[in-house]
Structure 1
Amino acid sequence: MRRSKVKRRIPSILAVGALFTVLAGTSLPQVQARNVAAGRGPNPIQALKTKLKGHVFSKGPHGERAVLGTKIKLSQADLKKIRAKHATAAISIHIGGDDWSTAQENGLKFELKKEGIRLVGLTEANGNATTQASNIETLSARRPTFLFSIPIDAIALASSYRRALSRHVKIVFMDVPAKGFVAGKDYVSDVSADNCGNGIASAYLLANVVHKQGDVGAIYYAADFFVTNERYRCFKATIEHNFPDIHIVESQGVAAPDFAGNAERATTGIIAKHPNLAAIWSVFDIPAEGVEAALRGAGRTNIPIITEDLGLNAAVSIASNGMIKALGAQRPFDQGVTEAKLAGYNLLGRKAPPYVVLPALVVRRSNVLKAWTEVYHTPPPAQLKKAYNSVH
Structure 2
Amino acid sequence: MKASIKSKVVLASLIAALLGVSTLSAVGAESAASVAKKGLAELAKGVYSTGPNGEKAAAASSLKFTAAELKKLKKMKATAAISFHLTSDWTSGQQAGLTKRFGELGIKIVGVTQADFKADVQVSQIQTLMAKKPNILVSIPVDGQATAGAYKDAAAAGAKIVFMDNTAAGLTVGKDYVSVVSADNYANGAASAYLLGRKLKGKGTIALIYHAADFWVTKQRWNGFKETIINKFPGIKIVDEQGISGPDFAGDAQKAATAILTKNPKISAIWAVWDTPAEGVLAALRDAGNTTTKIATQDLGANVAISLAKKGPVIGLGAQRPFDAGVTEANLAAYALLGKKAPAYIAMPALAVDHAGVLKAWQTVYSAPAPADLKASFKK
Provide the TM-score with structure 2 as the length reference: 0.91
Superposed CA deviations along residues 129-169 of structure 1, whole A, max 9, x for unmatched, are: 11111010011122111100001111100011111122111
| Conservation of the 8 A alpha-carbon contact between 2:33 and 2:201 | no
How many corresponding residue pairs? 357
Give the superposition deviation at 1:37: 4.3
Structure 1 ranges of 4+ moved more than 6 A: none
Gap runs ≥5 in structure 2: 1-23
Establish whether residue 184 from structure 1 lines up as the match of residue 167 from structure 2. Answer: no
What secondary structure sits across from 1:126 in the alignment?
coil
The residue that corresponds to 2:262 in the other structure is: 272
Report the counterpart of residue 125 of structure 2 in structure 1. 135
The equivalent of 1:250 in structure 2 is 240
1:331 matched residue in structure 2: 321
Q: Which amino acid aligns with 2:355?
A: R
Corresponding residue for residue 10 of structure 2: none
Q: Over residues 180-201 of structure 1, what are the superposed CA-to-partner deviations in whole Å (9 max), with x where a residue is unaligned?
A: 1111111000001000110110
Counterpart of 2:293, as a letter, is I
How far residue 75 of structure 1 moved from its aligned partner, in angstroms, is: 3.8
Does 1:193 pair with 2:187? no
CA distance in 2, matches of 1:36, 1:166: 62
What is the distance in 2 between the residues matched to 1:301 and 1:229?
29
* Residue of structure 2 in register with 1:122 after alignment: 112
Determine the structure 2 residue equivalent to 1:59.
Answer: 50
**2:288 is aligned with what amino acid?**
A
Deviation at 1:235, TM superposition (A): 0.9
User: Could you list the per-position Cα deviations for residues 43-80 of structure 1 after superposition, in whole angstroms to 9, with x for gaps in the alignment?
Assistant: 24412441122310000111011112222233433311
Which residue does the alignment assign to 2:312?
322
Q: Deviations over 1:291-346 (max 9, x none)?
A: 11111211212111001000000111110011111110000010000000011111
- Partner letter of residue 73 of structure 2? I
**8 Å CA contact 1:205, 1:327 repeated in 2:** yes
Q: Is the 8 A contact 1:279 1:303 kept in 2?
A: yes
Q: Structure 1 CA distance, aligned partners of 2:123 and 2:339?
A: 29
Equivalent position of 1:91 in the other structure:
82
2:122 is paired with a residue of what secondary structure?
Answer: helix
Residue of structure 1 equivalent to 2:200? 210
CA distance in 2, matches of 1:45, 1:386: 29
Q: Does residue 334 of structure 2 align to residue 340 of structure 1?
A: no
The 10-residue stretch of structure 1 (116-125 or 106-115) with the greater mean CA deviation from structure 2: 116-125
SS of the equivalent of 1:305 reads strand
| Partner residue, 2:67 | 76
- The alpha carbon displacement at 1:284 in A equals 0.5
Aligned to 1:171: 161
Q: Does the aligned pair in 2 maintain the 1:40–1:244 contact within 8 Å? A: no
1:307 aligns to what SS in structure 2?
strand
**Partners of 1:301 and 1:323 within 8 A in 2:** yes
Aligned to 2:27, the other structure's residue is in SS state: coil
Alpha-carbon distance, 1:34 to partner: 9.8
Q: Which residue of 2 aligns with 1:290?
A: 280
1:155/1:227 CA distance change after superposition, 3 Å: same
Are the counterparts in 2 of residues 42 and 242 from structure 1 also a CA contact under 8 Å? no
CA distance in 1, matches of 2:27, 2:357: 29
Q: What SS class does the counterpart of residue 102 from structure 1 fall into? A: helix
Provide the rounded CA distance (Å) in 2 between the counterparts of 1:354 and 1:35. 47
- Which runs of no fewer than 5 residues in structure 1 stay unpaired? 1-32
Separation in structure 2 between the aligned mates of residue 34 and residue 263 of structure 1, nearest angstrom = 33
Q: Distance in 2 between matches of 1:75 and 1:368?
A: 36
Q: TM-score, normalised by structure 1?
A: 0.88
Amino acid at match of 1:57: Y
What SS class does the counterpart of residue 29 from structure 2 fall into? coil
- Give the % identical residues: 49
In structure 2, what is the Cα distance between the partners aligned to 1:148 and 1:313? 27
Give the whole-Å Cα distance in 1 for the aligned partners of 2:262 and 2:66: 58
Partner of 1:25: none
Contact 2:145 2:168 in 1 (8 A): yes
Matched, 1:385 2:353: no
1:43 equivalent in structure 2:
34
Q: Which moved more, 1:303-312 or 1:290-299?
A: 290-299
Q: What letter matches 1:73 in structure 2? A: K
Cα distance change of structure 1 residues 333 and 259 upon mapping to structure 2, 3 Å threshold = same
